[in-house]
Amino acid sequence: MDNKQIFLDDAHFIAKGGERDCYIHPNDEHKVIKIVHRKEKHNEQNKLEFKYYTFLKKNKISLNHLSRCDGFINTNCGEGLVYERIVNYDNTFSQSFKTFLEHKTFSKEIEFKLMTELKEYLFQNNILFIDVDLSNVFCKEVSSKKYKLIIIDGLGARRLNWRFYLYLYSKKYTRYKIKKQWKVFFANYLKHSTYFL
């Protein structure tokens, strides 16, 4: 962890989640910093996600559809976990898949192609995408009118407990959980795609 303290203020603030605040890194607009804001009991989401990313890297698992995690940093708001900010090929910042669906940006065929690619990635690499809210998936334009889905949040487990380690080391249980969460994610997609409303 970098011991040099980073100063954050309201100008860097992006969004507030149930447990964490998200800020643009003041020294690098292509990175974000997630900081636990809850003072009461919380789910240790930063520690959990860092452990999960460490597990993926150690086992040489593809991160092709995940935002990169760069480790912890000290800030005036507390310890933060640094992530890649998803950027399009033209250096504009990507938006959530939910936003694209609400604006009916893609044809039905392209939506299904993006969903199929993400599903194949998750199942082939045994990736645990647990918090399957559509806002946790961004749509990156990798070249003109060519896109791919990137998961920016919600990986590993909901809590840092025995289930988290069971997910990591029991392939049978991991597979069960991936299938279960994909069904929920796909149902969320159907609710927001204008082709199915």
pLDDT at 82: 97
pLDDT at 38: 62
CA dihedral 51, 57, 62, 66 (to 10 degrees): 40
- The two three-digit tokens of residue 134, written as one number: 């559509």
Residue 66: partners with Cβ closer than 8 Å, 6 or more residues away = 56, 127, 150, 151, 155
pLDDT at 59: 95
DSSP strand pairing (78-84 vs 95-96): unpaired
Q: Please list the residues that pair with 13 across neighbouring strands.
A: 23
Domain assignments of the chain as residue spans, ordered by start: 2-192
Beta strands of the chain (E only): which ranges? 2-6, 13-16, 20-25, 28-36, 69-75, 78-84, 95-96, 137-143, 146-151
DSSP symbols for 95-121:
EEHHHHHHTT-S-HHHHHHHHHHHHHH
For 32-46, how does the pLDDT look when each residue is reduced to its tens digit (9 = 90+)?
A: 999 998 665 657 899
* pLDDT < 70: residue spans in the chain: 1-3, 38-42, 197
pLDDT at 4: 83
